[in-house]
Amino acid sequence: MVTTLPPAPQGPQTEPGRVPSRVSDRLIVALDFPDATAALACASQLAGSISWFKVGLELYFAAGDSIVRELKKRGHSVFLDLKLHDIPNTAAAAVRSLARLEPDLLTVHAAGGRTMLQAAAEAARSVPKPPHLLAVTVLTSLDAVALAETGVPGAPIEQALRLGRLAAECGIDGMVCSPAEAAALHSALPKALLVTPGIRPAGSDLGDQKRVATPQFALAAGAGMLVIGRPITAAADPKAAAQAILNDMAKSNPTK
């Protein structure tokens, strides 16, 4: 029997940095489009079912601040996934600059190191409406071989734990990790919000992802929020695809 969820109201229904209490607020749809017209058309199709949207590098570079402002104007919550990674002063300045858009979640690279992470966290706390920061641990497109090529030995889970612990010590609210590392990070850092990309419903094309899992697996492993793009945005009926994923998430009873 399929569980039908009520439409999700617009806007955040929980304090970012904490796991949302409702299933419908735990799904973030990635608007990975080359222009604002296509992104906003998809957001309009999903209105009433989805309240969270991710704006990444492709869309932000194409549309700039206006896409974040428009999504916020429509009452949506925005995960601004720009993966800031620079010297501490520059990263902190970028956080303060982006904070004027009032994103709900904003990413920095944990690999930027302790001083950069601390500077970013301090910058976020210094603004009137601070974004909640997430530290990106290991990209879901990387595996052990790819990590080794960059000089990082060991398995991705080892690097994710190392960087996750560092980010938590620096005052970062949560981490971005693959579903494969979610259980270990949740066990080590139970208070951190874990946001997991690389989510693919059973039978979906993996695309360029290496470390993926189904929605139920990720939630059971301790993921707080899931990021899903192409399985929804490239579907013939994006709203139906999103609803099917929400139904699948509901079966795992993630808020129990």
Q: Which residues are catalytic?
A: 83
Look up residue 79 and give its amino acid.
F
Tokens 């938590």 -> residue: 168
Among candidate residues 130, 140, 220, 128, the one with its CA nearest the CA of residue 175 = 140
Q: What contacts 134, CB < 8 A, 6 or more positions away? A: 105, 106, 107, 108, 172, 173, 174, 175, 176, 193, 195
Spatial separation of the C-alpha atoms in residues 40 and 17, rounded to whole Å:
26
List the structure tokens of 113: 């190191």
Spatial separation of the C-alpha atoms in residues 27 and 55, rounded to whole Å:
14
List the structure tokens of 199: 């989510």
Look up residue 236 and give its amino acid.
A
Main-chain dihedrals φ then ψ at residue 44, nearest 5 degrees: -65, -40
